[in-house]
Amino acid sequence: MSDLQELRKQALIGAGIDTLAVRAGQVRSAEGEHSEALYLTSSFVFDSAEQAAARFSGEQQGNVYSRYTNPTVRTFEERMAAMEGAESAVATASGMAAILSVCMGLLKSGDHIVCSRSVFGTTTVLFTKYLARFGVSTTFVDPIDFVAWEQAFTSSTRLVFVETPSNPLCDVIDLQRLADLTHKHDALFVVDNCFCTPALQQPIKFGADLIVHSATKYIDGQGRCLGGLVAGPQHLINEVLGFIRSAGPTLSAFNAWVFLKGLETLRLRMDAHSASAQALAEWLYEQPQVEKVYYAGLPSHPGHALAAQQQRGFGGVLSFCVKGGREQAWRVINETRIMSLTANLGDAKTTIVHPATTTHGRLDDEQKLTAGITENLIRVAVGLEDIADLKADLARGLSAIA
């Protein structure tokens, strides 16, 4: 790195999140490109046999092969680490690859996970179906019940895994309190920060050891690429990195480049998503066909004060119950014309979904009941369209069941 590049890097120490989102991690090539370069190459050449040997032995820093390092991916990793306030980060091919890599890098047969029962459905499948085969067991708990958290720990507990706010009911978990409890039991506290992103919440400040992301959602922000990331202290990242390099769920350079562009507008988008979700939640709360609204931005939400304390904004996802059951919920969804009927979220395009028969369809009736996934529940991930048009779209839906 040139002296000037080093000086530019040092100038970012202590910079604000908006500056980091645009600037952190960038190293310009000799071409002097302004936008981050896309290094679309699987491998790298050496000047001499001596240099090749030094690179392979790790004696000399530098690129060897893109499963190990790629400059575009590295820029994304450094930028995300800076934004999360983490020492280091490693990118992965998807959010699930990030979660798997944490487990494979840090757990062994006989270890135990304590997991919030309100996590992404595929995370539950990964833990219960696949990790269980290799002798790693999981206990799921109600994320806001601290008695349940306390009771779930065993002498083998190595990892605690949560998402906050939860999907789809926006339960808010006290990060500092759970971090303290986890550390008392000598376990690692892992937070899936996909819903807030570092623009709204930096869990490391509240004691989290590792952050995982699905960059597929808000970090891309425009529904184009799959990707993920793990952030945390170097000694833990090294273990995760070791697995990724050996197993290969590496992020593609192209996707990293797309995410770098996404990060530049992340905070602005998250603020816009949050403002529109707030307006829509307040409006839904007033509608006679609506029985209940779940959004931490509403003062009536039990997690409101906690969210206000540990988040910069309340995020873009809300859920609501209509009066009636599945038939009424489906009718509302089917009458919308602007929102996309899809389970994805974190997109400029607003999405609407019926959790009980899609994202949470795998749960049996009992599990749905305890998790609050009722038949009349609808989830909306609010995008960036005009709020008046989104209200009109839901009003059309609601009028169908008036």
- Minimum gap (Å) between residue 291 Cβ and ligand PLP: 26
Rounded distance, CA 21 to CA 17, Å? 6
3-state secondary structure of 195: coil
- Minimum gap (Å) between residue 96 Cβ and ligand PLP: 4
Counting contacts by CB under 6 A, is residue 226 touching ligand PLP?
yes
Q: Which residue number is nearest to ligand PLP in terms of Cβ?
A: 95
Q: Per this entry, what is the length of the chain?
A: 402
143 within 8 A of 171, measured Cβ to Cβ: yes
Residue whose structure tokens are 């050449």: 45
What does the block give as tokens for 62? 């530098």
Helix 387-399 crosses helix 266-285 at what angle (to 10 degrees)? 40
Cβ distance to ligand PLP smaller for residue 318 or 322: 318
- Residue 68-97 contact track with ligand PLP, rule CB under 6 A, x = bound: --------------------------xxx-
Counting contacts by CB under 6 A, is residue 355 touching ligand PLP?
no
Counting contacts by CB under 6 A, is residue 228 touching ligand PLP?
yes
Q: Which residues contact 389 (CB under 8 A, 6 or more apart)?
A: 338
CA torsion through residues 10, 11, 12, 13, sign: positive
- Residue 157-186 contact track with ligand PLP, rule CB under 6 A, x = bound: ------x-----------------------
Counting contacts by CB under 6 A, is residue 194 touching ligand PLP?
yes
CA torsion through residues 125, 296, 215, 1, sign: negative
The residue range among 60-68, 138-146, 200-208, 214-222 that interacts with ligand PLP, by the rule CB under 6 A, is 214-222
Cβ distance to ligand PLP smaller for residue 174 or 220: 220
Give Dmax (Cα) for the chain.
77
User: Which of positions 107-126 make contact with ligand PLP (CB under 6 A)?
Assistant: 120
154 within 8 A of 185, measured Cβ to Cβ: no
Cβ distance to ligand PLP smaller for residue 26 or 255: 255
- Minimum gap (Å) between residue 123 Cβ and ligand PLP: 6
- Minimum gap (Å) between residue 392 Cβ and ligand PLP: 28
Residue 264: which H helix or E strand, with range?
A: helix 253-264
Q: Which residues bind ligand PLP (CB under 6 A)?
A: 94-96, 120, 163, 192, 194, 214, 216-217, 226, 228
